[in-house]
Amino acid sequence: MKMVCAIIRPHRLQEVKEALSDAGIVGLTVTDIRGAGRQKGQVERYRGSEYSIDLIPKVKIEIALEDDSVEGIIQTIRDAAHTGEIGDGKIFISPLEDSLRIRTGERGENSL
């Protein structure tokens, strides 16, 4: 099993969710986050004063998958989140040792 964690632009979330649903993904976790990377920050004005926003709002999507589904799902996320501009995001894939469905007690891939 693998854990796929995608950091994307907030305005691309709906497209990514729809693409994942079309690909058969029914379970995911979405978290609003802030981060810094190559996109850098931006300068904004408030009441005549300039201030720098160093941490850019992003959305983190986490999905637990069977090993054979990973490549197709990361391509689905990439296609739906891609704008071609700096700051499109990142996808991280890490091993998932075990999982447990609380309601039934199922473990491993059966719990996904």
Sheet with 29-35: list strands edge to edge: 29-35, 56-65, 2-8, 89-95
Asked whether 4 and 77 are in contact (CB, 8 A), the reply is yes
The backbone torsions φ and ψ at residue 64, rounded to the nearest 5 degrees and listed phi first, read -90, 130
Better-scored residue on pLDDT, 55 or 111: 111
Is the per-residue pLDDT at 30 higher than 80? yes
Q: Considering the chain, what percentage of its residues have pLDDT values greater than 70?
A: 89
DSSP β-ladder status, 29-35 and 89-95: unpaired
Q: Which CATH number fits domain 2-111: 3.40.50.300, 3.30.70.120, 3.30.750.24, 3.90.950.10?
A: 3.30.70.120
Domain regions of the chain by residue span: 2-111
pLDDT value at residue 93: 98
Instruction: Dig out the tokens for 70 from the structure.
Output: 């990973």
